Amino acid sequence: MARFSIHAVLALLFVTASAYANVIVSSPGNGETVSSPATFAATANTTTCSRGVAAMGVYIDNDLVYTVDSTKLNTSLTLSVGKHTAVIQEWDFCGGVTKSSVPITVADKGGVFVTSPANNSTVSGVTNFVATATTTCAGGVSAMGVYVNNQLQYKVNGAKLNTQLNLSPGLQKTAVQEWDACGGSALAPVDLTVTSTEKTLPNLQASKGWNSWGQIAPTWGDCPAPCPGVTWSMQQGVSSTSLSGDATKFSLSGTDPYGDVLWENPLIGQFSTQGLPDTDKSLLPTLHNFTYDAWFFVTDAAVTQALEFDINMFENTVGQTWGTECRVEAGNEWDYWDNGVKKWTPTGVACNPINGGWNHVVIQVQREADNSLLYQSITLNGVTATLNIKSAPFTVPASWYGITVNYQMDGDHAEHANTTYVDKFNFLYW
């Protein structure tokens, strides 16, 4: 195949949407166990209706139980013990509706409820711990913590815990504990088997072999430089705005509204920049877990339409793209790429990167046994959102073989000049 044909097809898929309507839920979390009354907090915004959002509401098991005439919702609702499907919805002044579904479980008594990882599960060395706690103490839950082999490794104030810990290979006895304001506590043991099979490709921002293309409306096809309406540059070895002393500067400007720039690096398989051509095809078929771990610096959020972080895999006519984008100027929300319907889909998870500072993003995904794609979680600046969203693969030519990663900057309505930096970009696979 031609070296760049794969990217031309992907570019046709990755269309930047300038219009959106979102419901972003900050509480409760997806799949969270809560006490009653439960707190519901969310915001809504839209560019599909010029008159804006008219109202918001909460449905519990298909029954509308609360509404407010506002773009913000914050209320406590009394719920029965058990599993419920909560839907937070917005209505705009043009008759449009947008909603986010949040499955929850209401606990019948106090305790610690661990969403991730599952007890007796096998995990990688970098493990997400996500948990909530409830208590009958009138003063509530004061703090939560994670023990590893009887040693306290992490502690946070409040009734929610969400962190990543590095665990040593082998059998590990962990536990999540809560302490309440009345002097009581509760503990949930979580026994884990930690694998040591993951491999890391480090400092990819400093790697050789980066390719780049502009993408402009209406086709969004790959446009090599010089590309009318979009200009860009990439400068490696930056020590001034850097964490490691070896950051990479990415710049975008031009005249074409919403013009994008895609930077791509082939890691494994064809055109590998990491010495992993896998010519005998013994490596790629064994891989099912991937982590995109990078630090990025936003210089001006006001002109940052969106930033995109993608993993692509191609094997035996099966194409898989785990696409994630942080819409900044375009609505402060994480989207994921749904291969099955070929469009960006809101996750309902807020994305508010630090402006004028460094941000740490960790995206964990998985290739299922049937080649479906699983979006497991997104962690931004230490806060993990558990997604567990599945998407179908798509068909590619049989000759395509390999794994690539992308970093993309999307231009705004006026294609204002914009610069971001990337550092400590690691890719983990196993």
Q: What pLDDT shows up at residue 381?
A: 92
Task: Enter the DSSP assignment of 356.
Answer: T
Indicate the average pLDDT of the chain.
91
Q: What is the CA radius of gyration of the chain?
A: 22
CATH code where residue 394 lies:
2.60.120.260
Question: Residues 354, 226: one domain?
Answer: yes
Mean pLDDT of 1-16: 41
CA distance 347 to 219: 25
Question: Residues 257, 329: one domain?
Answer: yes
Give tens-digit pLDDT for 293-333.
Answer: 999 999 999 999 999 999 999 999 999 999 999 999 988 99
- Asked if residue 123 is part of any domain, the answer here is yes
Question: Residues 172, 27: one domain?
Answer: no
Q: What pLDDT shows up at residue 14?
A: 47
Which residues constitute the domain of residue 96?
A: 21-106
- Asked if residue 15 is part of any domain, the answer here is no
Q: Which of 1-10, 78-87, 361-370 has the lowest mean pLDDT?
A: 1-10
Domain final position from 170, 194, 218: 194
CA distance 211 to 234: 10
Domain final position from 79, 106, 133: 106
CA distance 149 to 172: 6
Question: Residues 102, 250: one domain?
Answer: no
Q: What pLDDT shows up at residue 30?
A: 80
- Asked if residue 2 is part of any domain, the answer here is no
- Asked if residue 16 is part of any domain, the answer here is no
Query: Does residue 129 contact residue 144 with C-beta atoms inside 8 Å?
Result: no
- Asked if residue 373 is part of any domain, the answer here is yes
Query: Does residue 290 contact residue 199 with C-beta atoms inside 8 Å?
Result: no
Query: Does residue 251 contact residue 422 with C-beta atoms inside 8 Å?
Result: no
CA distance 164 to 171: 18
**pLDDT above 90 (res 271):** yes
Question: Residues 263, 373: one domain?
Answer: yes
- Asked if residue 5 is part of any domain, the answer here is no
Helices first, then strands: H and E counts in the chain: 1, 33
**pLDDT above 80 (res 222):** yes
CATH code where residue 172 lies:
2.60.40.10
Total domains in the fold of the chain: 3
Handedness of CA 100, 103, 109, 115 (dihedral sign): negative
Q: What pLDDT shows up at residue 277?
A: 97
Domain final position from 151, 179, 194: 194
CB burial of residue 423 (10 Å; 0-12, 13-18, 19+): buried
Question: Residues 80, 207: one domain?
Answer: no
CA distance 223 to 243: 32
Give the contacts of 177 (CB within 8 A, at least 6 positions apart). 112, 144, 145, 146, 147, 185, 186, 187, 188
Mean pLDDT of 270-282: 97
Question: Residues 133, 188: one domain?
Answer: yes
**pLDDT above 90 (res 164):** no
Question: Residues 205, 186: one domain?
Answer: no
Question: Residues 277, 380: one domain?
Answer: yes
Question: Residues 167, 312: one domain?
Answer: no
- Asked if residue 6 is part of any domain, the answer here is no
Residue 171, number of CB atoms within 10 A of its CB:
10
Question: Residues 145, 70: one domain?
Answer: no
Q: What pLDDT shows up at residue 340?
A: 86
CB burial of residue 74 (10 Å; 0-12, 13-18, 19+): middle
Question: Residues 96, 129: one domain?
Answer: no
Give tens-digit pLDDT for 188-203.
Answer: 999 999 986 789 999 9
- Asked if residue 9 is part of any domain, the answer here is no
Give tens-digit pLDDT for 391-420.
Answer: 999 999 999 999 999 999 999 999 999 999
Handedness of CA 288, 264, 321, 44 (dihedral sign): positive
What kind and span of H or E run contains 73? strand 72-77
